[in-house]
Amino acid sequence: MLIGSYSKAMFFIHSESLESEYVASRPFRVNAGPVQAYVMVPGNKTRYLSELETGDEVLIVDADGKTKKSIVGRSKIEKRPLLLIEAEFEDMKIKSLVQNAETIRLVDENGEPISVSVLEPGMKVKGFIDDSARHFGMAIDEQIIEQ
C-alpha cells in the first residue's frame, strides 16, 4: 500500500506476507502506520487511515507499480512504538511514521522487502510522488506545502 505523512509523497509499505521468527505469514495484512497517515485509495484519492472501515476500498500496489483495488476486511488501531523514516527525492523531503518493528517493511529499489529496523542513511526505497497536492483527498492543482 502507499502510505505517508504527505498526500503527494508516500512510501510503499509491504504486506506482512513474509514468514519471520516473530509472526507467521499474514498476506492479507498491512501494518500501515499511525492513524493520521494518508493512504492511497482508488481514483487518485487519499484518505486518513483513521477513516478506514470494513468494506472500504484501498489501492494495493505490486513491486512493479501495478495497482488494483482491495477491500478492507478490518481496521485495528493499537498503541505501538513509532519510528520516523525520511527520504529525499530531488528537492523534496518525504517523511512518515511507521511502527518500529522488524515485521514492518518498505520495498527497496530492487523490489525486495526491507525491514524498517535495518534502514540506514543512503538506502533507496520505493515510493509514490505526485505533482498534485490534495484537499479533502482530491488531487488539486494548487500550491500546498506539507511538512
Q: Please check whether residue 97 is in contact with residue 76, taking contact to mean a CB–CB distance below 8 angstroms.
A: no
pLDDT tier for residue 28 given thresholds of 50, 70 and 90: confident
pTM for the full model? 0.81
**Does the structure show a pLDDT above 60 at 15?**
yes
Domain ranges of the chain: 2-140
Q: What is the mean pLDDT of the chain?
A: 86
- Confidence grade of residue 20 (pLDDT, cut at 50, 70, 90): confident
Q: Please, what's the largest Cα pairwise distance for the chain?
A: 46
Task: Please give the average per-residue pLDDT across 84-101, as a whole number.
Answer: 91
HSE-up of 92 (CA within 13 Å, CB side)?
A: 16
Within 8 A by CB and 6+ apart from 111, the residues are 63, 64, 126
88, β-bridge pairs: 93
Band of pLDDT at residue 105, cut at 50, 70 and 90: very high
pLDDT at residue 106 above 70?
yes
Residues 6-33, mean pLDDT to the nearest whole number: 81
- How open is the CA angle 37-38-41, to the nearest 5 degrees? 145
Question: What mean pLDDT do residues 118-130 have?
Answer: 92
Question: How large is the average pLDDT for residues 86-94?
Answer: 89
Residue 47: which residues within 8 A CB-CB, separation 6 or more? 38, 39, 41, 56, 137
Condensed to tens digits (0 to 9), the pLDDT of residues 30-77 reads 887 889 999 999 998 999 999 999 999 999 998 888 999 999 999 888
Could you tell me what percent of the chain has a pLDDT over 90? Answer: 55
